[in-house]
Structure 1
Amino acid sequence: MDSTTIYYLIAALLILVGLLGTVLPVLPGIPLMFAGMLLAAWAGSFQAIGAPALIVLAMLTLVSVAVDFWATAHGARRVGASRMAMWGAAIGTLVGLLFGLPGLLFGPFIGALAGELAHHRSLHPHRVGHATKVGAGTWVGLLLGTALKLALAFAMLGLFALAWWL
C-alpha cells in the first residue's frame, strides 16, 4: 500500500469520526472533518480539491464552531441559566456519554438542572420549577446546535464531493 492510499484512508477516517463528532459533543466534529478533507486535498496534490473549495470549507468550519457556542448559550440564556447551569450541562453531557443514547439525551438536561439548583442552593418549588425550565432550555439549545452542525457537516460533504468529481 503506497503512502497516498494511507493518507486517503486516514482522511476518510477523520471525516467519519468528525461526522460522529457532530452528534457526540466530546469530539470536535466539523474541525475533524475539515482536517480529513484538507488531508485528502493534500494527498491529491490539490488537483481535485483546490484553494477555493478549501476556503469555503474552512469558513463553514469556523461557522460551525460559532454555532456550537451560540446555540448552547442562547438556549440557556433565554431561560435565565446561571453559569453553574451551563457547567452542569457540559458535565452532564460528558457523563451522559457513558450511558449511550439515553445519557446523551438526558445528561445535559440533568446537568443543567443540577447546576441551577446548586447555584440557588434551594429546593423551594419555585426554584425547582425555574431549574427545570433552565434544564429544558439548555437541552433545546444543544439540540438546535446539533441540528445546525449536522446541516453544516452535510453541506461540507456535498461541497467536498462536488469539488472532487467536477
Structure 2
Amino acid sequence: MDYLFWFLIGLAFVISFIALIYPILPGVLFLAAGFLIYGFAFSFEPFTPLFLTVQILLFISLFVVDYLGNAYAVKKKGGSKAALWGSTIGLIAGPFVIPVAGILIGPFLGAVIAELLFQRKGMKSAVSVGIGTVLAFVGTTLIKVFTQALMIGYFYYQVL
C-alpha cells in the first residue's frame, strides 16, 4: 500500500509541473495534494510550523510571480489591460488549440489581437507587447519550475 501512496504523491508532483505547460491545470493544488496524501497516508508529524510557513510563502510566491510578471511585462511594453487579458486567454487556450507551440503562440497572439482590436495601436506596438508577454511567461515559468522543485525538495528532506 505504501507504494501506491508514494506513486500518487509522485504523480501529483509530476502533474504540478505539467500544469506549467497547461495552465488550466491547478499546479499549486497538485503540490498541496501530494503533501496531503503523504500526511493522511503516513503522518503529518514532519510538517513542522517552519515547514508549513516556508511552503505557504512559496505557494503564495507562485501566484504572485505568475500575475505580476505578466502584468509588469505588458506595462513595460506599453500594453493595456486588454493585452493582459488577451495574453491570459491565449495562455489558457493556446496549448489546446496548437499543442506544444501554443503555450508561446497563444499569449503572443492574444496580446497582439487585443492591442489591435481594443486599443487600436499599430502593428509594431502590438507585436512588441506580444513579445513582452512571451518573454514574461518564459521568465515566470523558469522561476516557477525552480520554486516548485525547491518545495518538493524541501518536502522530501522533511519526510525522508
Shared fold (TM-score, shorter chain, > 0.5)? yes
Q: 2:22, 2:92 within 8 Å by CA — same for their partners in 1?
A: no
Within 1, Cα distance between the matches of 2:67 and 2:87? 13
Within 1, Cα distance between the matches of 2:150 and 2:87? 28
Within 2, Cα distance between the matches of 1:37 and 1:107? 32
AA in 2 matched with 1:91 = I
Task: Return the offset for 1:40.
Answer: 1.1
Within 2, Cα distance between the matches of 1:20 and 1:12? 12
Higher Cα Rg, which structure? 1
Q: Answer yes or no: is 1:114 the counterpart of 2:113.
A: yes
Task: Return the offset for 1:25.
Answer: 1.8
Within 1, Cα distance between the matches of 2:145 and 2:77? 25
AA in 2 matched with 1:102 = A
Within 2, Cα distance between the matches of 1:48 and 1:147? 28
Q: 1:86 maps to which residue? A: 84
RMSD, aligned CA:
2.0
After the TM superposition, which residues 95-110 of structure 1 pair with which residues of structure 2 at under 5 Å, given as runs?
95-98=93-96, 99-110=98-109
Which region of structure 1 is more displaced relative to structure 2, 129-138 or 54-63?
54-63
**One of 147, 153, 159 as aligned partner of 2:154:** 159
Quick one: structure 1 residues 22 and 102, their matched pair in 2 at CA, closer, same or farther if it must change by over 3 Å?
A: closer
Under a length normalisation based on structure 2, what TM-score does the superposition of the two structures give?
0.88
Within 1, Cα distance between the matches of 2:131 and 2:113? 12
Within 1, Cα distance between the matches of 2:53 and 2:22? 26
Task: Return the offset for 1:12.
Answer: 3.1
Identity in percent: 29
Q: Size of the alignment, in residue pairs?
A: 159
**One of 140, 143, 153 as aligned partner of 2:138:** 143
Task: Return the offset for 1:80.
Answer: 1.2
TM-superposition CA deviations, 1:83-104 (whole Å, max 9, x none): 1111111121222112111111
Gap runs ≥5 in structure 2? none
Q: 2:9, 2:38 within 8 Å by CA — same for their partners in 1?
A: yes
Task: Return the offset for 1:157.
Answer: 1.3
**One of 97, 111, 126 as aligned partner of 1:131:** 126
Q: SS of the counterpart of 1:101?
A: coil
